[in-house]
Amino acid sequence: MDAWDVDDQVFRLRDQTLELDVFDVYFITGLSRRGARPILTGSRPSGEKMGEVMDRVCPGAQFGRNSAKVDIATIPNLVLRVILFTITRTAGVQAPHEASKNHLLLATECLNPTLFDWATAVTTNIKRQLTKCKRGGVKQFGYGSIVVSFFLERLPIFQIQGAIVADPLPREPRMARWVALMPRGGGGQ
């Protein structure tokens, strides 16, 4: 976090400047770069209230506890649930188990055969969250594995000495080569 420059939106490490761009996110994650850019934060033009959107998109779903957002786990449609969990994770929201009206409207678009530029949306959100974290506005960062993979790809000095890291298959994202090195259990494991 200390290396993030909020003004220039780049990482500064000693005398080196590293810019995280759309191509990095594309090659690290394999997310699509074609199509319309999805709106992951903010609001979308809609004359409907949240309850009306819920009744239309996910009847039977419930609001989260003490929340104006829908509890994704209560949505009966499995496909819609998976799409919403993916959208909230991609958006890097603080409560990824709840979906806003914006997320519900985007999920309905995802049910159609539509290409989205997810790589640009994620890159923008990573930079936005890094800036908020640096300024103290957010305490949690939702894109750690992508940023760690970015540093491991760009700065070999951060790679674990003696670790054998295989190149991923030609069509797999670059992140696949670092998955084995990322601890799952926490607590220094």
Locate the domains of the chain by residue range: 4-30+136-181, 50-110
Measured between its terminal Cα atoms, the distance across the chain in Å is: 22
Spell out where the chain has E strands.
4-5, 10-13, 16-18, 70-71, 98-99
Predicted confidence (pLDDT) per residue in 149-189, tens digit: 888 787 767 666 655 556 666 666 666 656 655 554 444 44
Predicted confidence (pLDDT) per residue in 6-25, tens digit: 999 999 988 889 999 999 99
Q: Which residues contact 82 (CB under 8 A, 6 or more apart)?
A: none
Q: What is the pLDDT of residue 165?
A: 59
Whether the pLDDT of residue 124 is over 80: the answer is yes
Q: What is the pLDDT of residue 178?
A: 60
- Flag whether the pTM goes above 0.75: no
Supply 121's token pair: 């949306």
Cβ contact 91:69 at 8 Å: no
Which is it for strands 70-71 and 16-18: parallel, antiparallel or unpaired? unpaired
Predicted confidence (pLDDT) per residue in 55-114, tens digit: 999 999 999 889 889 999 999 999 999 999 888 887 777 788 899 998 999 898 888 888
Q: Which residues contact 44 (CB under 8 A, 6 or more apart)?
A: 101, 102, 105, 106
Cα separation, 175 vs 85, whole angstroms:
20
Q: What is the pLDDT of residue 170?
A: 63
Cα separation, 9 vs 183, whole angstroms:
28
Q: What is the pLDDT of residue 111?
A: 86
Q: What is the pLDDT of residue 175?
A: 63
